[in-house]
């Protein structure tokens, strides 16, 4: 069972580039999203090597975060989307136990604010994008109402 201790809203922010790969943004803090630098280089490589289309957008910006306790870290990908009212879409990538990376969503989700929480009825943490809850159901996170 995946556990964390955060219900705080995380906003996406664009920060200046960094020369070193930064640690993931801790839960409960603003996710540092950058459009240049080492995190972007690593994110683009992961996206290309694993055929993750949203992260291959030339204008995609990336951040690192940790949703669950343990060794796994996730990439947050924010890229322009003409199909989204706000013009931005979010995706989250994580490495599977088999070693390849996968997307949390069947397709990127329109929105600009990502938060961890609340918990679902079974005690697992959900993601919230612009006020809408998403829970892990089968292979992907899907919209839910509880």
The reported pLDDT for the residue numbered 23 is 60
pLDDT in tens, 66-111: 787 777 889 989 999 999 998 999 999 999 988 999 999 999 999 8
Band (pLDDT 50/70/90 cuts) for residue 14 is very low
Strands (E) in the chain, as ranges, are: 9-14, 31-33, 61-65, 74-80, 88-95, 101-103, 109-110, 113-119, 125-129, 132-137, 140-144
pLDDT at 12 over 50: no
- Give 118's contacts (C-beta < 8 A, 6+ positions apart): 7, 125, 126, 128, 133
Give Cα separations from 136 to 49, 99, 119, 126, 127 (angstroms).
24, 20, 11, 7, 9
Please report the sign of the dihedral spanned by the C-alpha atoms of residue 23, residue 34, residue 72, residue 29.
positive
The reported pLDDT for the residue numbered 30 is 59
């Amino acid at each position: 069972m995946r556990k964390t201790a955060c219900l705080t809203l995380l906003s996406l922010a664009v920060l200046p580039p960094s020369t070193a790969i930064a640690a993931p943004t801790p839960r409960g803090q603003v996710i540092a999203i950058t459009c240049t630098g080492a995190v972007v280089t690593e994110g683009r490589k992961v996206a290309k090597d694993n055929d993750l289309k949203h992260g291959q957008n030339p204008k995609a910006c990336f951040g690192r975060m940790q949703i669950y306790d343990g060794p796994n870290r996730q990439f947050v990908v924010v890229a322009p989307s003409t199909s989204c009212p706000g013009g931005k879409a979010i995706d989250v990538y994580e490495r599977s136990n088999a070693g390849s990376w996968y997307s949390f969503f069947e397709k990127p989700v329109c929105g600009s604010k990502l938060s961890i929480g609340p918990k679902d009825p079974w005690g697992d943490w959900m993601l919230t994008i612009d006020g809408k809850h998403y829970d892990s159901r089968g292979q992907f996170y899907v919209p839910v109402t509880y």
